[in-house]
Chain A
């Protein structure tokens, strides 16, 4: 019986550390292909409500500092398990890229594809590039905090009252902290510093 329990626990570790990443890698490739198909028309994607339906990969993200993990990574509408296991999830109630407000996204730091596995490498001044059907958008990271899971203020349109971020178009990255447990959340904020048409050349950070 003890042997059985030990075997099941070991299998659970294999499932978490290996299988979820294998499954996520397949889902991510599929979402990436979907996003590229959305861009291929060359016309801006439109949706009935102005926002993509849940599960729709509507953008690709590039973070030069995290190039081995976040490079053409699909950004998917929604922050439930299926979306987070196929890429980076967009908080549905927050702004879309290049719109006034807070473009807030979440990504796994361990298991399930773990796009933000190297989150601790990020520094103020790092660039985050988002490619939508319309634009290349470049954000510059400005500040980070470790907060509790209840700190929903972090995804507000302007999270800071006293020392606001110097733009009305901001990005928020959220992930878990510490990496292998989820008692806290690590948040990184940035501001939009450039937006160019998707039909034009890619920004220098990506090319």
Chain B
């Protein structure tokens, strides 16, 4: 999977590294701001009320 992505990215090695960093940052942002907050509301953790 990662090899396929690497080959698809255009430009020099430096450009590819830069794009990988950007993609990783975008994925982390979506996880932290959307997916994980949604997930915690559906998991039986950190519940403190009766």
- The docked-state distance in angstroms from the alpha carbon of A182 to that of B46 is 6
Whether, in the assembled complex, A26 has its beta carbon less than 8 Å from a beta carbon of chain B, the answer is no
Give chain B interface residues in 14-40, CB to chain A under 8 Å: 28, 31-32, 36, 39-40
Whether, in the assembled complex, A84 has its beta carbon less than 8 Å from a beta carbon of chain B, the answer is yes
Known contacts: A4-B1, A15-B36. The answer to whether A108 contacts B28 by CB under 8 A is no
Known contacts: A1-B1, A8-B31. The answer to whether A174 contacts B39 by CB under 8 A is no
Closest to B47 in A: A182
When distances are taken between beta carbons in the complex, the residues of chain A under 8 Å from B45 are: 16, 180-182
Whether, in the assembled complex, A132 has its beta carbon less than 8 Å from a beta carbon of chain B, the answer is no
Contact between B50 and A185 (Cβ–Cβ < 8 Å)? yes
The binding surface of chain A is classed by DSSP as mixed
Known contacts: A4-B1, A19-B32. The answer to whether A12 contacts B39 by CB under 8 A is yes
- The docked-state distance in angstroms from the alpha carbon of A25 to that of B50 is 24
Size of the chain B interface, CB-CB below 8 angstroms: 15
User: What are 29 A-B contacts with C-beta separation under 8 Å?
Assistant: A11-B28, A11-B32, A11-B36, A12-B31, A15-B31, A15-B36, A16-B40, A16-B45, A79-B49, A81-B41, A84-B48, A89-B49, A108-B46, A108-B48, A111-B46, A147-B50, A149-B47, A149-B50, A155-B50, A174-B49, A176-B46, A181-B44, A182-B44, A182-B48, A183-B44, A185-B48, A185-B49, A185-B50, A187-B50
